[in-house]
Amino acid sequence: MLSQDVDDVQRCLAGDQDAYAQLVERYQGIVTKRMMRFTRDRNECEELVQTVFIKAYCGLHGYGGKGPFPHWLGTICTRVGYNFWSRRRRSGEVVLTDCLERVDATSEQALTPTEAAEIAHVLLAKLPGPDRLVLTLMYLEDLGTREIAEQTGWSRAVVKMRAFRARRRIQAIAEKNELLEKLGWIR
């Protein structure tokens, strides 16, 4: 796939718009799945996906073909998602849903995967951007510290330190909201 991606990038840089359409078609599903980690709202996700592909198109000259195109695109996804969180936090748009109350209402039953995902999203939304980013990439994207460091520009030591601190913060938030037992975090 690497040679096809490099060929499409070169054709695109030469002015072939169909080549970029092929890249978008090839990676739209992956980018959409990735951006759903940053928002659970489908409309916002679509906007983020469009932003990723616009930024990728504008920065296509920066892709040298030395590494896999999906990794390069993943870095753009990470930056777009992180900027989305930062803008949202600065503007005060972070709205926490009533899912924490729903957990109390259904305390005798196990959480559905949808409820668990919503709670995880709410808990992550309460974290500062860097903490949220490192946990999202580590646990939702299943990236290792090396890949996270590459995508964020942080050192591996910084990634490890942020992940450690972020896990402690999210556990404290869950404990404050009396969610530890419900989430299965009691040992």
Q: Where are the domains of the chain?
A: 1-95, 97-187
Q: Kindly report the pTM of this predicted structure.
A: 0.70
What are 27's two structure tokens?
A: 């990676």
pLDDT on residue 113 = 77
97-187 to CATH, choices 3.40.630.30, 3.90.180.10, 3.40.50.12780, 1.10.10.10: 1.10.10.10
pLDDT on residue 102 = 55
Rounded CA-CA distance 47/69 in Å is 21
What are 44's two structure tokens?
A: 């916002």
pLDDT on residue 157 = 97
Listed residue (148, 164, 166) closest to 79, CA to CA:
148
Q: How far is CA 162 from CA 4, 5, 35, 111, 180, in A?
A: 37, 33, 21, 28, 21
- The pLDDT profile of the chain, 187 residues, written as one tens digit per residue, is 568 999 999 999 999 989 999 999 999 999 999 999 888 889 999 999 999 999 999 999 988 878 899 999 999 999 999 999 888 877 765 544 445 555 555 555 667 777 777 778 888 888 888 999 999 999 888 999 999 999 899 999 999 999 999 999 998 888 887 777 766 665 4
pLDDT on residue 49 = 97
Q: Does domain 1-95 have CATH number 1.10.1740.10?
A: yes
Place of tokens 């990728």: 56
